[in-house]
Amino acid sequence: EAPIRKICCIGAGYVGGPTCSILALKCPDIQVTVVDRNELRINQWNSEKLPIFEPGLEEIVKQCRGKNLFFSTDMVPALKEADLIFISVNTPTKTFGLGKGRAADLKFVESCARLIAEVCDRSKIIVEKSTVPVRSAASIVNVLKANTKPGVSYQVLSNPEFLAEGTAVNDLTNPDRVLIGGEESDEGRKAIDALSWVYHHWVPAEKIIKMNTWSSELSKLAANAFLAQRISSINAISAVCEATGADVSEVAKAIGLDSRLGPKFLQASVGWGGSCFQKDILNLVYISESLNLTSVAAYWQQVIDMNEYQKTRFGQRIVQAMFNTITDKHIAILGFAFKKNTGDTRESPAIYVAKHLLEEGACLHIFDPKVERAQILLDLDQSDEKTGVTIHEDPYEAAKGTHALVICTEWDQFSTYDYQRMYDSMLKPAFVFDGRKILNHSALSEIGFHVETIGKRPGESFQAQNWGGANNV
Ligand code: NAD
Ligand code: UDX
């Protein structure tokens, strides 16, 4: 008999939405209901225009919605009916109180546990999908136990999500691994087996890794810390390149060919962003400090500090190259999302760069293929477009009449634009600051642009040979 027939997921965000859509697609025998208290978001999931842009997702939602995939604000019946409940709510950095600015705020996770205990009258499996500090499952168990109705019991599992935005459909369909952590008891093992049965609908058994709860929780924080650390490391090397004449693309290629290191996540950039890296490393730093592991905390803090340094360096370089003043100069920012193929701007380095340029008195012309106008204004604390920020729907309009182009996101289409056309419409000398190393710098120099990029000395970019894809390590 099927151990799980109905699943409820609390949180219809970047994780809950795509994860449950794939789950519904791959498990026609399971009914999946995603609930959220945000009515607008639920309405969007039920509409033609989904609340998030994720390549390939729309088709899947359309295929499953109304069949075995439902989005609802009516949480209580969905929770009561479910055999298994995913908690997939946001766990942001605390903004006040103990651990402010570093610790993860578990108030949403806790309120889910309280609601479950209050309304459910039969035993269930509760799965912690949100990224949480190590030992959070123990807190969930505590809250559940203290409020559970008579005769009801819960098994709490840790099942962190490793999808990256922009590639979520593929990451969920072909995951490198699925972690399931649970209690080391008969009941615990039974719950682990039930969740593993769900994944086994499409994930091969050898990729479903069972472990103890704390290892599973910590593995998620550790994985994000390692990934961000690689980018911070190559970004640190990019500063050395700029000071010496080495080229960070060449160095990254050389490093990545070592099979022990591998080529991925070595792309030097204006800095890493996104909703996860900063929050999760801060969380790891906070946990380490709380455990009196001060050297460990200081070590991981450096990964964040290096990222701040990189963003600052890039902003300063723009001002310095443009004769130390950008007051009243017009600058086009191409790309506002934190990475390509998403409309998400959380912790986007573009926000930092734009704010820096605004502080220096520049007028900004911003274009991004997917980010909504209102989101850009919100991120820049602007109430309207009168105060130095104009948002464009066309990259050529954004470039027109400006002194400089600043690339902040690695959208593929940016490398296919007609830069001659942009150059002709710009003020001279015309500058390009490529914060993502995606453009053909020698071609731009030939057009007449002054090109500056990460990890290469200014002015030398056009001397180097363009070896195509090799720039995109
Ligand atoms: P999100 O902000 O996009 O979505 C969270 C949703 O939960 C929101 O819609 C919110 O309204 C809802 N919510 C919060 N409290 C609720 C409550 N008590 N009842 C009902 N709904 C509630 O967040 P996200 O990006 O999906 O991230 C969710 C979790 O997954 C976080 O812990 C995050 O660290 C982790 N994660 C995110 C990613 C990613 O790429 N975004 C990847 C892996 C893991
Ligand atoms: C990350 C993790 O990759 C994912 O496993 C986890 O579940 C959530 O956090 P995400 O933040 O969506 O995913 O995107 P990711 O591809 O990791 O990129 C993060 C940031 O690093 C982006 O700003 C990206 O542009 C930047 N980056 C990435 C670089 O600057 N250089 C690189 O080589 C790779």
> Whole-prediction pTM value?
0.95
Q: Which two tokens stand for residue 7?
A: 């699943």
Report the pLDDT value the prediction gives residue 304, as an integer from 0 to 100: 98
Nearest CA to ligand 1 atom 11: 38
Report CA-CA distances (Å) from 321 to 184, 317, 331, 453: 60, 6, 13, 11
Task: Tell me the β-bridge partners of 278.
Answer: none
pLDDT tens, position by position, 306-332? 999 999 999 999 999 999 999 999 999
Quick one: how many helices (H) and strands (E) in the chain? 17, 14
Q: For residue range 25-79, list pLDDT tens digits in order.
A: 999 999 999 999 999 999 999 999 999 999 999 999 999 999 999 999 999 999 9
Q: How far is CA 306 from CA 102, 251, 284, 364, in A?
A: 17, 18, 16, 26
Ligand (nearest to CA of 41)? 1
pLDDT (0 to 100) of residue 385:
77
Among 52, 253, 277, residue to substitute to test ligand 2 (most atoms within 8 Å of Cβ): 277
- In whole angstroms, give the CA distance from residue 142 to residue 145: 5
Q: Whose CA is nearest to atom 1 of ligand 1?
A: 13
Which residues touch 137 (CB under 8 Å, ≥6 apart)?
Answer: 128, 156, 157, 158, 181, 213, 214, 217
Q: Longest Cα pair distance anywhere in the chain, in angstroms?
A: 77
Instruction: Report the pLDDT value the prediction gives residue 73, as an integer from 0 to 100.
Output: 98
How much is the ipTM here?
Answer: 0.98
Phi-psi region of 15 (alpha: psi -120 to 50; beta: other; left: phi over 0): alpha
Q: How far is the CA of 339 from the centre of ligand 2 (A)?
A: 7
Starting from the CA of residue 269, give the closest ligand. Answer: 2
Q: Where are the alpha helices (DSSP H) in 322-381?
A: 349-359, 373-379
Question: pLDDT 10s per residue in the chain (473 long)?
Answer: 899 999 999 999 999 999 999 999 999 999 999 999 999 999 999 999 999 999 999 999 999 999 999 999 999 999 999 999 999 999 999 999 999 999 999 999 999 999 999 999 999 999 999 999 999 999 999 999 999 999 999 999 999 999 999 999 999 999 999 999 999 999 999 999 999 999 999 999 999 999 999 999 999 999 999 999 999 999 999 999 999 999 999 999 999 999 999 999 999 999 999 999 999 999 999 999 999 999 999 999 999 999 999 999 999 999 999 999 999 999 999 999 999 999 999 999 999 999 999 999 999 999 999 999 999 999 999 888 777 999 999 999 999 999 999 999 999 999 999 999 999 999 999 999 999 999 999 999 999 999 999 999 876 444 444 434 444 43
Q: Which residues line ligand 2 (CB under 6 A)?
A: 161-165, 224, 227, 231, 265-267, 269, 272-274, 276-277, 338-339
Q: What are phi and psi of 53, to 5 degrees?
A: -95, 125
Task: From the candidates 20, 64, 112, 276, give the one annotated as an active-site residue.
Answer: 276
Catalytic residue list contains 276: yes
The pLDDT assigned to 459 comes to: 63
Instruction: Tell me how far the alpha carbon of residue 371 is from its chain's centroid.
Output: 14
Residues with Cβ within 8 Å of residue 47, at least 6 apart in sequence: none
Give the integer Cα–Cα distance in Å for 95 and 279: 12
